[in-house]
Structure 1
Amino acid sequence: MSSVINVILPIFALILIGYVCRKTNRLGPHAASEINRFVVWLALPALLFSVTANSSWESLWQPGFLLAFGGGSLAVFILTLLYRLKRSAPLADANIDGLSAAYANTGYVGIPLCILVFGEGGLEPALIATLVVVCGLFAIAVVGIEVALQGEKSLGAAVRKVSLALLKNPLVISPVLGALWAAGGQPLPQALAELLRLLGAATTPCALVSLGLFLAHEQRGDSEGSLALTGMKLIIQPLITWYVAFQLLELPSLWAHAALLLSALPTGTGPYMLAEYYQRTATRVSRAVLYSTLGSLVTLSLCLYWLGY
């Protein structure tokens, strides 16, 4: 339990810092949106470009792990999306809810936790999981939201508008450009790599402070369903991943254990950033981030105990 607390406690501290800064008026009423815009337009694109530009297909191609972790994430995303659509939720909001149920906090919690538990060998599955979440799942949700927000009745016109919107979206184009750079086989220039590192390092603290600022405002939006999203993230996703990794594929111990542990992580701030960026109701997703982070103290500890660590 203490190992999990040591990793998760700084998350609560950053959220609390944002909350206190807003309540004491150290940061103004528009600070949450402005800090979030910095993350979406500068910090997160720099991180996505840097990660993909420094990756290779040889290190990333772990089909069993990808199927276990990525398949579990995608299954939860689709199940939540379909359920929300059945309850007459707008398509854009349903995509954000689906992402809230499936988006693991692999960067801020997953990487240090895997290194703590598995040693340096845990870095590779944590990095692959991060790419799956921020470049795969995140991109799918962005495409779904863009499709939902286009009002064209003509299919051709709608495709053109969505394509143009995606080309302008920094969260989609940055990993694509990074992958193209990696395909060229050239390392990043040292100055550029350092610039990207500095910007990328600001992603998580700024996103969490922004979340704290948002929570300090009077919550007027609908938060119903946040506990259900938390349950999908902390219970259903690990169960699906466990079945695929341990029962269906019987992966090697490191990859199976890492897949299960990473699937049991709390919801990251990505869905909240999207809700703010697209000006959708962010109350439900912000609550899901908060509740799942708190609940993961129990679920991650149970996973570590069951795995024998």
Structure 2
Amino acid sequence: MLGVLQGFATIGAVVGLGFLLAHWRILDISAQNLLSRLAFYVASPALLIVVMSRTRVEAIFSANLVASFASVVITVAIYLAVARWRWRPPLGESVIGSLCAAYVNAGNLGLPIALYVLGDISLMAPTLLMQLLVLTPVAMAVLDGEARGHRPTLGTSLVRVVRNPITAGALIGLLASFVRVPTPVLQPIELVGNMAVPAMLIAFGISLRRGPRPGTGGSWSHVATMVSLKLVVQPLAAVSVGYLAVGLRGHALFAAAVTAALPTAQNVFTYANRYNRALFLARDAIFASTVLSIPVILLIAFLLGRP
């Protein structure tokens, strides 16, 4: 399980750097906002273009995609039902809460874990594509509509989905996967895309130091609910659907379980910061799920007989 620990250690080191830079007053909240905007509008779309252009299409549309999508639907449905009964959050906060409960860190943590633990980076592709082309566009359309103060029509929502930089990057990358992109064209895009993950993680570290302490951005019961759904319900849903509905066995089932048990992605913090919705609630959920996902993934490996 060296790959699991290596992936988490890498993330922790960069978040710690952001924390120290804020502690030493080299960076502040304005830098957090700047880094988040840079990641949202420029670096993340560039990274998605590169990642998706190098992903084999046949690796995406597999039984793993069915299990991944079903686990998201089940988890989000449970979260929305519980949130409506318990907290009655506004629409934007409900969207961020849903993402905290079901949006896995398939990029900067999922890719190294896929490489070192699962042994095949393409096993992360179905979840990555589903999140980028389904979950993210829907969430962005709702958040955009709420930010503008009116309920958008279907046509308006589709236009906003395409114009959203995150979704646009994923779509361009998917189209690029069908052709051979010249290296001189791809290299500068890759160079810019390499800023995405460090920018998000440093911004997250700044928030941990300069924002309210973890636990003060929202009730612990709300955070605990989202984290429990993320680390317990979603993996169980993925395994159940994978085993019973689509016939996943052995390593494929193990891959579905590990993917679903990944913590909430730092992207959610970037989206919350961009739309100013449930910012510290998202931060606390990411922090808690990242720490607690380590023993969860190790337990899955033990239960499914992985070394």
* TM-score normalised according to structure 1 size: 0.89
Q: Which residue of 2 aligns with 1:170?
A: 165
The Cα offsets for residues 73-129 of structure 1, whole Å up to 9 and x where unpaired, read as 23212322343344321111101110011111111222222222232xx21111222
- 1:6/1:179 Cα in 2 relative to 1: closer, same or farther (>3 Å)? closer
Count matched residues: 301
CA distance in 1, matches of 2:29, 2:123: 39
Note if contact 1:65-1:245 (Cα within 8 Å) is conserved in structure 2: yes
Q: Which residue of 1 aligns with 2:61?
A: 61
Corresponding residue SS for 1:106:
coil
Q: Which residue of 2 aligns with 1:141?
A: 139
Amino acid at match of 2:67: A
- Of 202, 210, 218 in structure 2, the residue corresponding to residue 217 of structure 1 is 210
- Of 185, 191, 195 in structure 2, the residue corresponding to residue 198 of structure 1 is 191
Paired-residue identity, %: 24
What is the CA distance between 1:18 and its match in structure 2?
0.6
CA distance in 2, matches of 1:140, 1:50: 22
After TM superposition, list the pairs within 5 Å mapping 1:140-289 onto structure 2.
140-152=138-150, 158-159=153-154, 161-182=156-177, 185-219=178-212, 221-224=217-220, 225-289=222-286
- 1:20/1:137 Cα in 2 relative to 1: closer, same or farther (>3 Å)? same
Amino acid at match of 2:175: L
Note if contact 1:106-1:129 (Cα within 8 Å) is conserved in structure 2: yes
CA distance in 1, matches of 2:133, 2:162: 15
Q: Which moved more, 1:266-275 or 1:138-147?
A: 138-147
- 1:298/1:191 Cα in 2 relative to 1: closer, same or farther (>3 Å)? same
Note if contact 1:85-1:91 (Cα within 8 Å) is conserved in structure 2: no
CA distance in 2, matches of 1:3, 1:61: 26
Note if contact 1:271-1:285 (Cα within 8 Å) is conserved in structure 2: yes
What is the CA distance between 1:3 and its match in structure 2?
4.2
Q: Which residue of 2 aligns with 1:301?
A: 298
Note if contact 1:70-1:129 (Cα within 8 Å) is conserved in structure 2: yes
What is the CA distance between 1:21 and its match in structure 2?
0.7
Q: Which moved more, 1:136-145 or 1:203-212?
A: 136-145
What is the CA distance between 1:267 and its match in structure 2?
1.0
The Cα offsets for residues 21-77 of structure 1, whole Å up to 9 and x where unpaired, read as 111101133011100111001111012222333344333221x21111121023212
Note if contact 2:55-2:122 (Cα within 8 Å) is conserved in structure 1: no
Q: Which residue of 2 aligns with 1:98?
A: 98
CA distance in 2, matches of 1:270, 1:82: 24
Q: Which residue of 2 aligns with 1:73?
A: 72
CA distance in 2, matches of 1:218, 1:123: 35
Corresponding residue SS for 2:29:
coil
Question: Which residues of structure 2 form unaligned runs of 5+?
Answer: none
CA distance in 2, matches of 1:93, 1:102: 14
Q: Pairwise CA RMSD of aligned residues?
A: 2.1
Q: Which moved more, 1:102-111 or 1:285-294?
A: 102-111
Q: Which residue of 2 aligns with 1:20?
A: 20
What is the CA distance between 1:221 and its match in structure 2?
3.7
Question: Which residues of structure 1 form unaligned runs of 5+?
Answer: none
Note if contact 1:233-1:292 (Cα within 8 Å) is conserved in structure 2: yes
Q: Which residue of 2 aligns with 1:43?
A: 43
